[in-house]
Amino acid sequence: MNRETRRLGLKWKIGGIFTGVMLVLGLFAIAVVYRLTQETLRDQLDKRALAIATNFSDAAAGHIAGKNLLALHALARK
């Protein structure tokens, strides 16, 4: 094998470097978007859980004070 067939051309070197850089930047962008999406969804889930718990506790207070377990069960199922 002579030297001419083993060497990569300048086009292949530039193309390989460009592809490698784009791959690294693409993976970085995917990681950032994944992290931001995860944080946003977690925040929305926490807010929704707090709203549901607050509404349920407000609605259940009267049933608990009156010891009306049947109505409390129906409220929990609803």
Q: How far apart are CA 69 and CA 45, in angstroms?
A: 29
Q: What is the pLDDT of residue 51?
A: 96
pTM: 0.58
Per-residue pLDDT of the chain (78 residues; tens, 9 = 90+): 555 556 778 888 999 999 999 999 999 999 999 999 999 999 999 999 999 999 999 989 988 888 888 888 888 888
